[in-house]
Chain A
Amino acid sequence: MVRPPQIIPYGDSALLMQFMSDGYSRDVIRTVQAMSSELRADPDWIEVVSGYDSLLLEFDPLKLDPVAAEGKLINLVNGFKPGQVPTGRLVEIPVYYGGKDGPDMQLIMDAAGLGESEVISLHSAREYLVCMMGFIPGFAFLSAAHDRLYHPRHETPRGRVPAGSVGIGGWQTGIYGLESPGGWQIIGRTDITIFDATRDEPFYLSAGDRVKFVPATRGSAKG
C-alpha cells in the first residue's frame, strides 16, 4: 500500500512530491509514473520530473500562485486511484555481458557467489521500469535488479565509462546513455545508441518505458 506523498516546496517555483519508502518500492515507482503521466497533461506544470520515490513539479509563479499550485497537487493526490498504473511500451535491449563490455562482471560474480551465466540470467530475466532519466542525457535509471546482484558503487568513480554500458549501483541498475565518468559496476554493454542528438528522436528511452535485456554474443549479432 502506498502512503500519500508529502508535498514540499522546492524554492519559489517548484514543488516536490516525496513518497515515503524504505529504499526501493515497486508500488511507489508505479504510482510516481502514473501520477506523472496525469500531471504532464496539465499545462500549468512546466516540467514534471520523476524520480524513484519523488516527483518534481515546476510552475511559473507569475501565472500560478504557489499556494494554488500546492492546492492543485493536494487535489490530485486525494483523487488519485491507486489502480491507475500506466503500461509503458516494452523496449528490448540486446546486451553483451561480461568480458571487455562488462569489466566488473567478475566482481559481481565473486560478491554474489554466482557463475557468469547465472548473473546474466538473473539480470536479464526481469522486466525493468525506466524510473528516471539523467544525471546525464540518456542515462536510464531502472528499477531494482535481483537482490543477489546488489553491489555498492565503486568508491572512486571510473574516469570514463563507454556509452551503452549497463551497470549496477546498489540495488539500482541502469544504462549509460553517453560516455561519462561513472561509479556503477559495469556488467555489460549495448550497441544501441540510447542518446543521439542528431537523431529525429534523440531519446531511445523515456521514464515509464519497460525494459527487457536480451543477452547477445559478439560475432553473431555484430558483423
Chain B
Amino acid sequence: MIEVLQSGTRATLQDSGRRGHRSRGIPASGAADRLSFAVANWMVGNVWNTPAIECVLGGQHFRFHQDTLIGLAGAEMWAQVNGQNVTNYTAFPVEKGDILTLSFSRQGCRAYITVPGGFNGHTFLGSVSTYLPAGLGGIEGRALKVGDHFQIHPVKRNPRKLPPGYRATFSNHIVLRTRPGPEFEDLTQESQRHLFINPFIATRNTNRMGARLRGNRISMRTYEDMTSGPLLPGTLQVPADSQPVLAMTDAHCTGGYPRVLQVITADYWLLGQVRPGSKVSFQRCFSRDAIDILKRRTAFYRSLMDGFSF
C-alpha cells in the first residue's frame, strides 16, 4: 500500500487517456507529458500506458507500507527517500516505512510516479485518467488528498536503467513547433509575424485545460462572432482580448475563438511541462517535416516501448 501524506500543488491519477469520445464532449485527458509518463512506466517494467500519479509543481509526500519499486520521471523535483536524494529518470527500490518527498520544481511542471503493475482507479470509457471538471476517472474523479491510499501489486521487479537519449529535456522556455490553424489566415499580417517573434509568458491561469498566455497582442483582421466548432488540444486560440490561450489535454472539445496555430503531434508532450511563468515560443513547421519528425520520434521511442504513441 502507498499512502498520500501530502498532495502538494496537485496530483491526479493519469494513463494515456480516453480517445475517441470528443464528439460526445469528453476530452481525451491523460498524462499531460506522455513522454515522461511513458518512460517512468518503462523503468519499472510496465507497459508504457499503465496508470501513474501525475504530480504538479511538487510538494507531494508518500509513505510506503510495503517494499516496492518506484519510477520517477518528468520535471526535476529534487526527490528524496527518507531525506536521501534520489535521481530523476531512474527507478529505485523503496522499503516498508519509507517516505518519498517531492520538493518544488524549478524546471517544468509535472513529474510522474510509477509502480510495477500501476495504480488502480475508477475506469470510465476505458481509462482511469482523472478529468476534474466532470469528476471522471481517478479516485472518485478528484485530485489526490491527504490520507488516500492505493493498493499496489506485490510484484518483484528490478529497476531498468533508461538508455541514453530517452530522457526528455525541457526548461522553463518551452519551444513548440506548429502548423497553421484553420483561422491562421484571418490574423492581421502583423500578428502572423508576432506569433513567432517574441516568447509569450504562461500566466497563473495555466492548468490541464489550457494556458492563458501574455505577450504581444495578437489580433484578427475582423472579429466576427464565430460559430462554435470542434477544438483540439494543442490549439492556440485568440479571444477578443488579444491574449492567446493554448488548449491542453483537458481542454473543451468545442470552442468559439479563432484557432490560429496547432502544435505538431511530436511536440504535444511538452505542453505538460508549461507552468505559470514559463516562456512559450512558437515556431513554424512544414507539413512534411511535422510528419517526418513524428515518424522518426515514434520509431525511436517504440524501439524501447512497444506501441508508444505521442
Residues of chain A touching chain B, judged by Cβ–Cβ distance below 8 Å, are 8-14, 16, 18, 23-24, 36, 46-56, 58, 60-62, 65-66, 132-139, 141, 170, 177-178, 180, 195, 197, 202-203, 206-207
Which 9 pairs, one residue from A and one from B, show the smallest C-beta to C-beta distance? A11-B262, A56-B230, A134-B253, A134-B25, A135-B252, A51-B229, A12-B290, A134-B254, A49-B230
What is the interface size of chain B, counting residues whose CB is below 8 A from a CB of the partner? 42
Cβ contact of B230, chosen from A24, A54, A180, A202, cutoff 8 A: A54
In the assembled complex, the Cα of A16 lies from the Cα of B24 at a distance in Å of 17
A-B contact pairs, 23 of them (CB 8 A): A9-B287, A12-B179, A12-B262, A12-B265, A12-B290, A14-B262, A16-B230, A23-B227, A47-B23, A51-B230, A58-B22, A62-B294, A132-B254, A133-B23, A133-B253, A134-B252, A134-B253, A135-B253, A135-B254, A136-B25, A137-B24, A195-B134, A206-B24
Interface string of B176-195 (1 = CB under 8 A from A): 00011110000000000000
Known: A47-B22, A132-B230, A141-B254. 10 other contacts (CB 8 A): A10-B181, A10-B232, A11-B264, A12-B179, A12-B294, A16-B229, A53-B227, A54-B229, A202-B125, A207-B24
Counting chain B CB atoms within 10 Å of each CB, the highest count among A16, A46, A170 belongs to A16
State whether B252 touches A10 (Cβ < 8 A).
no
Q: Which residues of chain B (237-261) have a CB below 8 Å from chain A?
A: 252-255, 259
Q: Does B126 touch A at the CB level, under 8 Å?
A: no
Contacts of B147 in A (CB 8 A): none
Q: Does B40 touch A at the CB level, under 8 Å?
A: no
In the assembled complex, the Cα of A10 lies from the Cα of B230 at a distance in Å of 10
Q: Does B111 touch A at the CB level, under 8 Å?
A: no
State whether B25 touches A52 (Cβ < 8 A).
no
> Per DSSP, are chain B's interface residues mostly helix, strand or loop, or mixed?
mixed
Cβ contact of A10, chosen from B26, B124, B125, B262, cutoff 8 A: B262
Counting chain A CB atoms within 10 Å of each CB, the highest count among B179, B254, B255, B263 belongs to B254
In the assembled complex, the Cα of A99 lies from the Cα of B174 at a distance in Å of 50
- Nearest A residue to B178, CB-CB: A11
